[in-house]
Amino acid sequence: MEILFWKHKCSNPAYAKIYLRVTVDGQRVELGSTNIEILVDHWDTATKTVKSQDPHHSFKNEQLLAKRTELLAIYNEFLRKKKPFTAQQIKQAYENQDDLTIMQVFDRYMIDIKRDPNLSEGTIKTYRNHREKFLEFLISKKQHMMYLESFELADFIEYRRYLANVAKFEEATIRKYSQSIKRLLNWAVLHKMLPTNPLHYYRIPMDKQKPHVYLTDEQFEKLKAHKFKNKSAQEVADVFIVYCRTGFHYQDLRNIQTDYKKAIVEGLDGKDWIFWERVKTNVKAKVPFFKEVNDIIEKYGGWENLPIKSNQKMNTWLKIIAAELDFHEDLSVKAGRKTLTDWLLNVKGWSKEAVKVLLGLKSDRSLEAYGKADERRVILEMER
């Protein structure tokens, strides 16, 4: 039997998926996609493996090896029976195995997820990252061929320890990765691959939320008034002001800059607003133009000239700015969205419903990730 992995072009010509076929006595059958995606140049046509330039090459090659091992086991089982068989029978046995590994189930789960038209590419990418981290954990235990029904609560708890001690993830990230595994097992039960979810009665611990890092109203005014001697520092400060008065993330602001004519629309009040479907949630944020944003846009002669730097450069400069102005040492681009949230809730006295519309959020819980009302809001309510 010949087992062949080959690359198949995706809709994006820069990427390819690895497909699989087997040949027995000259008869060839396609087994379809392995769901392993790579850059086109990262495939070694000689060795039929993923090149080391791919940051996850070792994991992807492990998956290819696992599939090869699985097919060889099926082939040897047919040989042992000493009866004629065909490539089509190999395919049927491969696709209809009763004992599925947990990674095989994860692959099927990923295929099902991708069919959901409501999921953004960013969300699918997140699931893909969760899958790779889980596979990394299983490989570290030399159990990447673990059967689905063998996975127990003890394995799950060990996985959480791995995320904390080896991957060095924060509590909030560990919770998200843990929830993915619990959803995977629920899906397996729903599709009758598993009788019960071994994590059914396990409650994933809530993460301890860190204090929000944001600029107070006084700090924001100090930032606006300060003149930096360094040109890059001044540009970063100016763009950060835009972050603090629009609440967009880096990629959203980048996209708006590219397509600002589409983003800027006339609101019900007859004034200009920014309407933009957020990359992360696909929910449309509706942001009025605050004076500070107009001032920065006019300063640089239009959206297309706004000096938006990469997140990494922004965050490096924001640390320097924080030191110069005596702000919190962990000041970062994320603080812009939190600064806006705090200002709207506790200085302007906006309702949570209005703030969610502006930020493009669906729930109160998602809003609390960026800020909460405090005693300043109580004072505002009392004065009314």
Indicate the domain borders of the chain.
1-97, 117-208, 217-383
From CA 237, how far away is CA 221, in angstroms rounded?
Answer: 12
* pLDDT at residue number 274: 95
* The token pair that represents 381 in the structure block: 């309510």
User: Which DSSP string do the residues of 281-319 spell out, in sequence order?
Assistant: T-PEEEEE--HHHHHHHHHTTSGGG--PPPHHHHHHHHH
Phi-psi category of 3—alpha, beta or left, where left has phi over 0 and alpha has psi -120 to 50? Answer: beta
* pLDDT at residue number 10: 86
Q: Quick one: the chain helix, strand, coil %, rounded to 5?
A: 55, 15, 35
Asked if 217 and 204 count as a contact pair (C-beta separation under 8 A), the reply is no
User: pLDDT band at residue 130, thresholds of 50, 70 and 90?
Assistant: very high
Share of the chain above pLDDT 70, in %: 98
How many CB atoms are closer than 10 A to CB 315?
18
Tell which CATH architecture fits domain 217-383.
Orthogonal Bundle (1.10)
Residue 353 has pLDDT above 90, yes or no: yes
Q: What is the mean pLDDT of residues 70-79?
A: 83
From CA 207, how far away is CA 255, in angstroms rounded?
Answer: 32
From CA 314, how far away is CA 310, in angstroms rounded?
Answer: 6
Burial class (CB in 10 A: 0-12, 13-18, 19+), 304: exposed
Which residue reads 């204090």 in tokens? 211
Asked if 254 and 245 count as a contact pair (C-beta separation under 8 A), the reply is no
Share of the chain above pLDDT 90, in %: 66
DSSP category for residue 170: -
351 alpha carbon, distance to own chain's centre: 29
The rounded mean pLDDT for the chain is 91
Phi, psi angle pair for 46, to nearest 5°: -75, -50
List pLDDT tens digits, range 255-307: 999 999 999 999 999 999 999 988 777 789 999 999 999 999 999 999 999 99
Residue 192 has pLDDT above 90, yes or no: no
Burial class (CB in 10 A: 0-12, 13-18, 19+), 190: exposed
From CA 37, how far away is CA 125, in angstroms rounded?
Answer: 11
User: pLDDT band at residue 101, thresholds of 50, 70 and 90?
Assistant: confident
User: pLDDT band at residue 59, thresholds of 50, 70 and 90?
Assistant: confident
Phi-psi category of 271—alpha, beta or left, where left has phi over 0 and alpha has psi -120 to 50? Answer: beta
pTM here is: 0.57
* pLDDT at residue number 208: 66
Asked if 296 and 238 count as a contact pair (C-beta separation under 8 A), the reply is yes
* pLDDT at residue number 209: 64
In total, the chain counts a number of residues equal to 384
152 alpha carbon, distance to own chain's centre: 26
Burial class (CB in 10 A: 0-12, 13-18, 19+), 372: middle
Poorest-pLDDT segment among 49-63, 87-101, 139-153? 87-101
* pLDDT at residue number 143: 86
Q: What is the mean pLDDT of residues 97-126?
A: 82
- For residue 40, give the nearest of 50, 55, 29 by alpha carbon: 50
Q: What is the mean pLDDT of residues 350-355?
A: 95
Q: Which residue has the higher pLDDT, 245 or 9?
A: 245
- For residue 263, give the nearest of 292, 301, 299, 303 by alpha carbon: 303
Find the Cα–Cα–Cα–Cα dihedral 29, 31, 37, 41, rounded to 10°: -20
Asked if 71 and 94 count as a contact pair (C-beta separation under 8 A), the reply is yes
Q: What is the mean pLDDT of residues 136-152?
A: 89
